[in-house]
């Protein structure tokens, strides 16, 4: 029953991916953790009861298998960097390793790639053939430094790549300072369009992660981009938000492939 509850609450990307490509984003609903991690916290580094986190991860793994054949998810130690890994296709090896990276990609079947977020931007990738999948964790630092471009570079043809922007802190809630705006504009002057000044607070800006991500993807030839409609800060019933709560849980964004059905 818990597995079905998780699937009921999960977000499914509204993108034209091939049918054998499966992806979902968990919400904070359907787990066993107590406040402030209530209830489907999947982060093992946030101060939650380890037994609850383990149970929540097991619930997610079973839910993935209900949707389509899937092995144990690859969990990452995310560091707001740009490293992209290709995890082992052996579930036992993935269980034994927590790799330091902020994106993952694979061409193997049934290997769930996972990033965790609670305001940062998760981005799914595949190509029109569904020959490869990837997922990236893009906080402002990783986004600025090029984690999305590094992930796209793993694909043979960027023009065949499609992306979906998962739930992140929205453009009316993500307040940043001059240094963040300047860092983006130093790379691309067009980034100025993604920042709105905060009234009566000189040097403060509201940043639109979704616009910044679309700009970065367009620069490397990815124009088929969907999603970007949620706000983790305002949608408190569904999402964890580090900016809103401080001590809180993490959602997971998971993508994997099943065998193609015969034509």
For residues 140 and 213, what is the distance between their CA atoms, to the nearest angstrom? Answer: 10
Please give the full DSSP string across 114-129, using - where no structure is assigned. Answer: EEEESSSEEEEEEETT
Q: Across residues 89-117, what is the average pLDDT?
A: 91
**Whole-angstrom distance, CA of residue 210 vs CA of residue 212:** 5
- Domains of the chain and any CATH numbers: 2-168+225-257 (3.60.140.10)
H helix runs in 102-198, sequence order: 140-145, 147-152, 178-187
- The CA distance from 111 to 61, in Å, is 11
Q: What is the pLDDT of residues 241-250, one digit of tens each?
A: 999 999 999 9
Q: What is the DSSP letter of 36?
A: T
- The sign one gets for the Cα dihedral 144, 147, 153, 155 is negative
Q: Give 115-162 pLDDT, tens digit per residue.
A: 999 999 999 999 999 999 999 999 999 999 999 999 999 999 999 999
- Confidence at 263, pLDDT banded by 50, 70, 90: low
Length of the chain: 263
List of residues 6+ apart from 98 with CB closer than 8 A: 75, 76, 77
Record the pTM. 0.96
Mean pLDDT across 211-238? 98
* Region of poorest pLDDT, from 5-9, 23-27, 178-182, 224-228: 5-9
Indicate the pLDDT class of residue 95, thresholds 50, 70 and 90.
confident
Task: For residues 196-201, give the mean pLDDT.
Answer: 95
């Amino acid at each position: 029953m818990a597995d079905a509850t998780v699937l009921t609450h999960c977000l499914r990307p509204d993108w034209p991916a091939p049918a054998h490509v499966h992806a979902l984003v968990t919400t904070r609903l359907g787990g066993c953790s107590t406040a402030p991690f209530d209830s489907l916290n999947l982060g093992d580094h946030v101060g939650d009861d380890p037994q609850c986190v383990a149970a929540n991860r097991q619930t997610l793994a079973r839910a993935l298998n209900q949707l389509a054949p899937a092995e144990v998810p690859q969990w990452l130690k995310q560091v707001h960097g740009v490293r992209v890994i290709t995890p082992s296709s052996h579930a036992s090896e993935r269980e034994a390793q927590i790799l330091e990276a902020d994106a993952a990609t694979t061409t193997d079947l049934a290997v769930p790639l996972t990033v965790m977020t609670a305001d940062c931007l998760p981005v799914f990738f595949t190509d029109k053939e569904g020959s490869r999948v990837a997922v990236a964790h893009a906080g402002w630092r990783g986004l600025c430094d090029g984690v999305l471009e590094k992930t796209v570079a793993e694909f043979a043809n960027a023009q065949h790549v499609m992306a979906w922007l998962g739930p992140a802190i929205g453009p009316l809630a993500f307040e940043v300072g001059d240094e963040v705006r300047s860092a983006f504009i130093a790379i691309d002057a067009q980034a100025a369009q993604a920042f709105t000044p905060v009234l009566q607070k000189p040097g403060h800006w509201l940043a639109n992660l979704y616009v910044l991500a679309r700009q970065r993807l367009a620069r490397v030839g990815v124009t088929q981009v969907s999603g970007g409609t949620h706000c983790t800060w305002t949608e408190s019933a569904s999402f964890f938000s580090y900016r809103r709560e401080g001590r809180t849980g993490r959602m997971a964004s998971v993508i994997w492939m099943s065998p193609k059905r015969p034509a």
